[in-house]
Copies of this chain bind each other. A is one copy, B any other.
Amino acid sequence: MCPHANGDSLASDPSQMVAVDMSNGSSTHSSSVKTNGVNGRMNGVNGAAKALEQQRRNPYAPRASDFLSNVSNFKIIESTLREGEQFANAFFDTKTKIAIAKALDAFGVEYIELTSPVASEQSRLDCEAICKLGLKAKILTHIRCHMDDARIAVETGVDGVDVVIGTSSFLREFSHGKDMAYITKTAIEVINFVKSKGIEVRFSSEDSFRSDLVDLLSIYQTVDKIGVNRVGIADTVGCANPRQVYDLVRTLRGVVGCDIEIHLHNDTGMAIANAYCALEAGATHIDTSVLGIGERVGITPLGGLVACLYSANPEYVKSKYNLSMLREIENLVAEAVEVNVPFMNPITGYCAFTHKAGIHAKAILNNPSTYEILKPEDFGLTRYVSIGHRLTGWNAVKSRVEQLGLKLTDEEIKDATAKIKELADVRTQSMDDVDSLLRVYHSGIQSGQLAVGQKEALDRLLRKHREGTMDSREASLSRPPSPAPVAA
């Protein structure tokens, strides 16, 4: 329960309301005096106070008690060109890799992680080519904890090397067969070598949530002491749950002084929430890939992570990332790996901003914040209210009547809505169908041929209209039902 979860704090925030582009004007309601008072108290204190002020203004901000939280202080390590290449469908040629890297850089991610140069000759060449692009984002490559791999990685021109080794008893037994003493010794050697080249180095365990906690903390403490830039936790199998992630990161936060990165697989659909909880516990870097592509069902998706962090602190996320590019980047990657953007994708799912039930549509028309925590316009997208179905309500229909410039009383709109629901019980009505009905109803009222409750008269007028427009309608019959755009 957010302590600031009250309507006043949102309604009184001008920055939250300005961009709401509603034609009926009710959303311009603002009691700015109260907010100004808060701003006044905060003015000129410092950055922390400013952050606190932002939290006060946003009812979805992290709770005040989360003093460890980095929800408003994190970096993204974008791994579409590493983890994403492990997706079953992925084959990125050099041109595609460069296009993706440039798009991610323009979006504003802080790091771009690439496949190990040891994987294949072309992987090495591509790594070198991307390092030469001069991107703002730092370029990383991801290697096994071997000196052989490290020597090749540092020669590619990367800004940092991400080192990984399996530490769970599962992976120690069935994957590489090494014990913790060997892992620690090798890690120290590789880390010192990469550091000696003047670039960043991260040490990560693999399958961290099935590793022995004492082993894990011990090796992290050791590599922290020798000056590793980041330690990484990886839920390689996607078995972790949010409170477990919170607890492990928080424990680790008390053991190491360096940055903490987290890499989360999505096998049970919890990778976004786990990333959020990791930040709450003090993690600093989150691994993502576009649409989450990676081994099996992949990892924390870039778009989903942005959605949940935006809902926690819209201003911070908007200041860091070029959000209107999100759809374009997702389409670029979806095309490259030949998948569809999932219909239920956060933000860019094709109905993420479509409102359907009558009760939702009515409230959205009054104030979009009633049922929306993401503002579509911040992502270059548009809100829709769907009204040609049996769950529709007369308030939503009223909005459409006003958009069409028709003059009908509330009683007349309710009467027309009953007819829309009756027709929609048989077949969902397209926007054209709804508009025609409303126009016929309106002209019937105007001409005196129709009054509220005259069902047969309305049916007669509709039949007459259909016969008159049969030719033109036939051409449009194959058109799918389209929702009504709400913004003016």
A residues near B, CB below 8 A? 1-2, 5-8, 10, 26, 59-60, 63, 85-89, 91, 115, 119-123, 144, 166, 168-175, 207, 209-213, 236-239, 241-244, 246-248, 251, 266-270, 272-274, 276-277, 280, 291-293, 295-298, 301, 304, 307-308, 311-312, 339-340, 342-346, 349-357, 359-360, 362-363, 366-367, 369-374, 384, 386, 389-391, 421-422, 424-428, 483
Contacts and interface: CB of A to CB of B under 8 A. Distances in A.
Given A8-B169, A169-B7, A270-B308, A295 B357 contact: yes
Given A1-B244, A173-B367, 10 more contacts: A6-B169, A7-B173, A120-B424, A171-B363, A175-B363, A266-B346, A267-B311, A268-B346, A268-B374, A298-B344
A120 B243 contact: no
Contact of A273 (B168, B241, B312, B349): B241
A87 B269 contact: no
A144 B277 CA distance: 34
A21 B357 CA distance: 48
Contacts of A119: 390-391, 421
A295 B371 contact: yes
28 contacts: A7-B170, A10-B170, A59-B210, A86-B357, A119-B391, A120-B421, A121-B422, A121-B425, A122-B425, A123-B390, A123-B425, A170-B369, A174-B363, A237-B372, A239-B311, A241-B273, A241-B280, A241-B312, A242-B273, A243-B277, A268-B308, A269-B272, A270-B308, A295-B355, A296-B349, A297-B344, A301-B344, A340-B343
A357 B144 CA distance: 12
Contacts of A238: 373
Among all A-B residue pairs, the 10 with the closest Cβ atoms: A273-B273, A342-B342, A7-B169, A268-B308, A269-B304, A242-B242, A88-B351, A122-B425, A174-B366, A120-B390
A308 B87 CA distance: 21
Tally of this chain's copies: 2
A261 to B, nearest CB: 18
Contact of A307 (B174, B267, B354, B384): B267
A293 B272 CA distance: 19
A167 B242 CA distance: 28
A141 to B, nearest CB: 13
A212 B2 CA distance: 9
Contacts of A301: 269, 344
Contacts of A297: 344-346, 349, 351-352
A173 B367 CA distance: 9
A249 to B, nearest CB: 10
Contacts of A311: 239, 267-268
B242 A170 contact: no
Contact of A7 (B168, B369, B391): B168
